[in-house]
Structure 1
Amino acid sequence: MAVPENHTLLEKMKRGESVFGSTFYSGSTTPIEIAGNWGLDFAFIDAEHTPTNVDRDMEKLVMASLLAGIAPLVRVRGVNQWDIRKSLEMGATGVIVPYVKTAEEARACVSAAKFMPIGRRGGDAGCRAASYAGPGFQWSKYMEHENATKLVIPMAESFEFFDNIDEILEVEGIDVVNFGPADYSISRQIPIDYSMKNAEVDEKLSELIEKAHARGIKVMAPCIPPVAESVTALQKKGVDMIIMGNDVMFLNQGYQRAREAIDSAAKGA
């Protein structure tokens, strides 16, 4: 059986359409499947800040995403070739690499994710991405397909990234850059605001969009709060991949409403 894939995300991006996803911290397949039911384009599955590693648990989340029709993007633990390679071999559509600060680190991301001649990814046919070397398997077609369809997404979330932005964006093989306003703010010791109303944070996102787009690179950023006005503002700014909140946020909002209902009923008793 051919490996399940999600080509809708890549097709929309090639047409210049906005694409939408959500971040998943819980380690459960349930919110990913629900997001797929509601037509989101990508699942940003986190292995950086959660107990989830790039192991059997991640494999389950990647497969749930593919079966739900939502493209899995795995945020690995850092510039780690094993995490990057294994995520893609499990069937992930792309890898998101946190806290990239230099062109050397960006090249390491590409090297781990892309086969020659772009990178130096190691290969084995006994994995899902290669359909386990099943009927009709050819190494050349497999490597060409992986290079063409798997996304390499370093994160711009430190002042060092912007100190080196031109050199980083010149690295061949970068497909998207994900802007992280919280960690950027932490690195600069300025107030943390995911809505990016801080003038410096807004300026850095604009700089990233301008320089990335000039090189044919897409930009991803969070939409907080995930409401229509925020979506429109990001689209007008030029953000290509918009992150509509996360599963923990939505759980908090639901339970907050439940608590408010309990407290309101108690006052009226």
Structure 2
Amino acid sequence: MSKMRKGEPTFGATFYTGSTTAIEVAANWGLDFAFIDAEHTPVNVDSHLEKLVMAALMGGIAPLVRVRGTNEWDIRKVLEFGATGVIVPQVNTADQARAIVRAAKFPPYGRRGGDASCRAAGFAGPGFQWSAYMQHENESRLVIPMAESFEFFDNIDEILDVEGLDVINFGPADYSISRQISIDYSMSHPEVDERLSELVEKSHARGIKVMAPCIPPVADSVTALKKKGVDMIIMGNDVLFLNEGCKRASQAIAESAAAR
């Protein structure tokens, strides 16, 4: 994620299908990160997820894993698998944010449990040093809570003041569900747009980056998010891409039949 550290926007996609192929294809097309979902999918924090992380690493695309919640074992394991960052859904309070940092960071920031027999530590191979390993993990692994409820914004200042947060991922659909307003990933609802602007302003004031979805994933939408200050832009997801491809195929079949 060197581009992000230079202040440049980064681009990725979400992966729901649990397919290593989808991640490798995204890497081939030069996306920066793979948002691997283990919240809404059959993917668990197990050997299957490890393969998805490895596919991303081998392709040169940063794996970011969305876990099921603030469970410290899930958070620790995805980082030990080699994930570049951990995304945690439904964060509503500063105490939850502190629990994420505690699980993801080694002292002095947190209390992450350690074992050298994992990918993140190079399996304690040649030249392994505990001090260097822990410093590298603290400096390079992204802690990414999700802002996807009105409760997050009720407590936004206290949450963002928690030390150790790197990025906040804005979830417009779940925010809209929490407020019982129309659900629209394009964020056309004025309240949703206002919350994203508030998140960008307050996060950037504290040196925290912001991630948000780009739906539809077209140039005008990218430009609008960049102007708003979004740092990490999610250019759709593998299920969306499959739907678009199958829709075009279905339309072609229908047009061919009508032309007879």
For the aligned pair, the TM-score class normalised by the smaller chain equals over 0.9
Q: Please give the alpha-carbon distance, in whole angstroms, between the structure 1 residues aligned to 2:125 and 2:35.
A: 29
Task: Tell me the CA shift for residue 92 of structure 1.
Answer: 0.1
SS class of match (1:36): helix
Q: Please give the alpha-carbon distance, in whole angstroms, between the structure 1 residues aligned to 2:125 and 2:7.
A: 34
Residue in structure 2 matched with residue 3 of structure 1 by the alignment: none
SS class of match (1:43): strand
Q: Output one character per residue of 1:88-141: Cα deviation in whole Å (capped at 9) or x when no partner.
A: 000000000000000000000000000000001000111110111111111111
Q: Please give the alpha-carbon distance, in whole angstroms, between the structure 2 residues aligned to 1:80 and 1:39.
A: 32
Residue in structure 2 matched with residue 159 of structure 1 by the alignment: 150
SS class of match (2:111): coil
Taking structure 1 as the reference length, what is the TM-score of the superposition?
A: 0.96
Out of 130, 143, 158, the residue aligned to residue 139 of structure 1 is 130
Taking structure 2 as the reference length, what is the TM-score of the superposition?
A: 1.00
Residue in structure 1 matched with residue 47 of structure 2 by the alignment: 56
Task: Tell me the CA shift for residue 209 of structure 1.
Answer: 0.2
Out of 235, 246, 264, the residue aligned to residue 255 of structure 2 is 264
Q: Please give the alpha-carbon distance, in whole angstroms, between the structure 2 residues aligned to 1:135 and 1:29.
A: 29
Q: Please give the alpha-carbon distance, in whole angstroms, between the structure 1 residues aligned to 2:228 and 2:180.
A: 25
Matches within 5 A, 1:1-269: 9=1, 11-269=2-260
SS class of match (1:249): helix
The amino acid that maps onto 2:140 is T
Task: Tell me the CA shift for residue 14 of structure 1.
Answer: 1.3
The amino acid that maps onto 1:57 is H
The amino acid that maps onto 2:129 is Q
The amino acid that maps onto 1:74 is V
Mark the runs of 5 or more structure 2 residues left unpaired by the alignment.
none
SS class of match (2:53): helix
Q: Please give the alpha-carbon distance, in whole angstroms, between the structure 2 residues aligned to 1:18 and 1:169.
A: 21
SS class of match (1:137): coil
Task: Tell me the CA shift for residue 201 of structure 1.
Answer: 0.1
The amino acid that maps onto 1:177 is I
Mark the runs of 5 or more structure 1 residues left unpaired by the alignment.
1-8
Q: Please give the alpha-carbon distance, in whole angstroms, between the structure 2 residues aligned to 1:215 and 1:223.
A: 24
The amino acid that maps onto 1:218 is K
Q: Output one character per residue of 1:135-179: Cα deviation in whole Å (capped at 9) or x when no partner.
A: 111111100000000000000000000000000000000000000
Q: Output one character per residue of 1:60-106: Cα deviation in whole Å (capped at 9) or x when no partner.
A: 00000000010000000011101100000000000000000000000
The amino acid that maps onto 1:47 is A
Q: Please give the alpha-carbon distance, in whole angstroms, between the structure 2 residues aligned to 1:244 and 1:30.
A: 17
Residue in structure 2 matched with residue 4 of structure 1 by the alignment: none
Q: Please give the alpha-carbon distance, in whole angstroms, between the structure 1 residues aligned to 2:28 and 2:185.
A: 26
The amino acid that maps onto 1:212 is S
Q: Output one character per residue of 1:168-193: Cα deviation in whole Å (capped at 9) or x when no partner.
A: 00000000000000000000000000
The percentage of aligned residue pairs carrying the same residue is 76
Task: Tell me the CA shift for residue 197 of structure 1.
Answer: 0.4
